[in-house]
A and B are shown apart, each in its own frame.
Chain A
Amino acid sequence: MANRENPYLPYPAVIQRVKEETSDIKTFSLAFKDKARQTTFYYRPGQFVQVSILGLGEAPISLSSAPCCNGSFELSVKRSGRLTERLHQLKPGDEIGIRGPYGNGFPYEEIKGKNIVFVGGGIGLAPLRSLINSIIANRDDFGSLQILYGARTPADLVFKDELNCWSETDGVEVLVTVDIGDERWTGNVGVVTTLFAKTRISADNTAAFICGPPVMIPFVIRDLLEIGLPEEWIICTLERHMKCGIGKCGHCNIGSKYVCLDGPVFNYRELKQLLESF
Chain B
Amino acid sequence: MTVRLLKKARCIDLVDALSDDYEIVAPVRKKDDTLFEPLSGGAEMDLDYLNSPVAPREFLLPQDETVFEYSDPENGTTLQPKIKDRCRIILGIRSCDLNGILLLDSVFSKDIPDLYYLNRREKTVFIAMACNQPGNSCFCSSLKTGPSASEGYDLLLTDLGDEYLVEVGSSRGEEIVKIGRGLFGEAGEPEIKRKADLLAIALESFVLRVDFQRVTELMKGLFADGMWEDIAERCLRCGGCSFVCPTCHCFNLFDRQLSETSGKRTRGWDSCLFSGFTRMAGGINPRGSKVERIRQRFFCKLVYYVEKYGAYGCVGCGRCTDTCPGYIDIAQVVTSVSLRSKGYEVDVGAKPER
B68 A251 Cβ-Cβ under 8 A: no
Nearest CB of chain A from residue B83's CB, rounded to whole Å: 8
- Verify if A187 is at the interface (C-beta below 8 Å from B): no
Q: Contacts A9-B68, A248-B114: A243 and B253 contacting too (C-beta < 8 A)?
A: yes
- Which residues of A from 72 to 100 have beta carbons under 8 Å from B? 78, 80-81, 84, 95
**Given the complex of chains A and B, what is the CA–CA distance between A245 and B143 in angstroms?**
31
CB-based nearest B residue for A245: B112
- Residues on the A chain within 8 Å of B76, using CB: 12
A81 B281 Cβ-Cβ under 8 A: yes
A243 B251 Cβ-Cβ under 8 A: yes
B270 A249 Cβ-Cβ under 8 A: yes
Contact of A240 (CB < 8 Å), options: B250, B252, B286 = B286
A58 B263 Cβ-Cβ under 8 A: no
A57 B255 Cβ-Cβ under 8 A: yes
B115 A56 Cβ-Cβ under 8 A: no
**Given the complex of chains A and B, what is the CA–CA distance between A240 and B115 in angstroms?**
24
Nearest CB of chain B from residue A213's CB, rounded to whole Å: 8
A4 B110 Cβ-Cβ under 8 A: no
A251 B250 Cβ-Cβ under 8 A: yes
The prevalent SS among residues of A at the interface is: loop
A58 B280 Cβ-Cβ under 8 A: no
- Residues on the A chain within 8 Å of B299, using CB: 255, 275
- Which residues of B from 118 to 153 have beta carbons under 8 Å from A? 118-119, 122
Contact of A243 (CB < 8 Å), options: B111, B252, B279 = B252
- Residues on the A chain within 8 Å of B79, using CB: 9-10
CB-based nearest A residue for B70: A54
A275 B108 Cβ-Cβ under 8 A: no
- Residues on the A chain within 8 Å of B67, using CB: 8
A54 B286 Cβ-Cβ under 8 A: no
A1 B253 Cβ-Cβ under 8 A: no
Provide the A251-265 mask, 1 if CB < 8 A to any CB of B, else 0.
101111000010000
**Given the complex of chains A and B, what is the CA–CA distance between A54 and B72 in angstroms?**
9
- Verify if B161 is at the interface (C-beta below 8 Å from A): no
- Verify if A246 is at the interface (C-beta below 8 Å from B): yes
A249 B303 Cβ-Cβ under 8 A: no
CB-based nearest B residue for A254: B286
- Verify if B307 is at the interface (C-beta below 8 Å from A): yes
A241 B253 Cβ-Cβ under 8 A: no
Q: Contacts A80-B281, A95-B77, A240-B286: A246 and B253 contacting too (C-beta < 8 A)?
A: no
B116 A55 Cβ-Cβ under 8 A: no
- Residues on the B chain within 8 Å of A56, using CB: 255
Contact of B282 (CB < 8 Å), options: A7, A54, A80 = A80
Contact of B77 (CB < 8 Å), options: A54, A84, A250 = A54
B255 A251 Cβ-Cβ under 8 A: no
- Verify if A174 is at the interface (C-beta below 8 Å from B): no
- Residues on the A chain within 8 Å of B277, using CB: 241, 251
B108 A248 Cβ-Cβ under 8 A: yes
- Verify if A218 is at the interface (C-beta below 8 Å from B): no
- Verify if B249 is at the interface (C-beta below 8 Å from A): yes
Provide the B87-117 mask, 1 if CB < 8 A to any CB of A, else 0.
0000000000000000000011011111110
- Verify if A247 is at the interface (C-beta below 8 Å from B): yes
Size class of the A contact interface (CB-based, 8 Å)? 35 or more
Provide the A218-253 mask, 1 if CB < 8 A to any CB of B, else 0.
000000000000000000000111011011111101
Provide the A1-17 mask, 1 if CB < 8 A to any CB of B, else 0.
10010111110100000
- Verify if B81 is at the interface (C-beta below 8 Å from A): yes
Q: Contacts A4-B113, A58-B253, A248-B107: A256 and B303 contacting too (C-beta < 8 A)?
A: yes
Size class of the B contact interface (CB-based, 8 Å)? 35 or more
B122 A1 Cβ-Cβ under 8 A: yes
- Verify if B227 is at the interface (C-beta below 8 Å from A): no
- Residues on the A chain within 8 Å of B251, using CB: 243-244, 248-250
B280 A241 Cβ-Cβ under 8 A: yes
- Verify if A113 is at the interface (C-beta below 8 Å from B): no
- Residues on the A chain within 8 Å of B223, using CB: 275
**Given the complex of chains A and B, what is the CA–CA distance between A277 and B252 in angstroms?**
23
- Residues on the B chain within 8 Å of A253, using CB: 296, 300, 304
**Given the complex of chains A and B, what is the CA–CA distance between A160 and B83 in angstroms?**
47
CB-based nearest B residue for A2: B113
**Given the complex of chains A and B, what is the CA–CA distance between A78 and B280 in angstroms?**
13
- Verify if A214 is at the interface (C-beta below 8 Å from B): yes
Nearest CB of chain A from residue B108's CB, rounded to whole Å: 6
**Given the complex of chains A and B, what is the CA–CA distance between A276 and B81 in angstroms?**
36
- Residues on the A chain within 8 Å of B265, using CB: 8, 54, 57
A239 B81 Cβ-Cβ under 8 A: no
- Which residues of B from 60 to 84 have beta carbons under 8 Å from A? 67-68, 70, 72, 76-77, 79, 81, 83
- Verify if B1 is at the interface (C-beta below 8 Å from A): no
- Residues on the A chain within 8 Å of B263, using CB: 54-55
- Residues on the B chain within 8 Å of A278, using CB: 286
CB-based nearest A residue for B272: A250
Nearest CB of chain A from residue B85's CB, rounded to whole Å: 10
Nearest CB of chain B from residue A261's CB, rounded to whole Å: 6
26 contacts between A and B (CB under 8 A): A7-B112, A8-B67, A8-B253, A54-B77, A54-B255, A56-B255, A57-B254, A57-B255, A240-B286, A241-B278, A243-B270, A244-B253, A248-B108, A248-B114, A249-B252, A249-B253, A250-B270, A250-B300, A253-B300, A253-B304, A255-B299, A255-B303, A255-B304, A261-B112, A275-B303, A276-B296
Among all A-B residue pairs, the 3 with the closest Cβ atoms: A250-B250, A256-B307, A80-B281
Given contacts A12-B77, A255-B299, 8 further A-B contacts (CB under 8 A): A1-B122, A8-B67, A54-B255, A239-B280, A243-B270, A247-B110, A251-B278, A261-B111
Query: A residues bordering B, Cβ < 8 Å?
Result: 1, 4, 6-10, 12, 54-58, 78, 80-81, 84, 95, 213-214, 239-241, 243-244, 246-251, 253-256, 261, 275-278
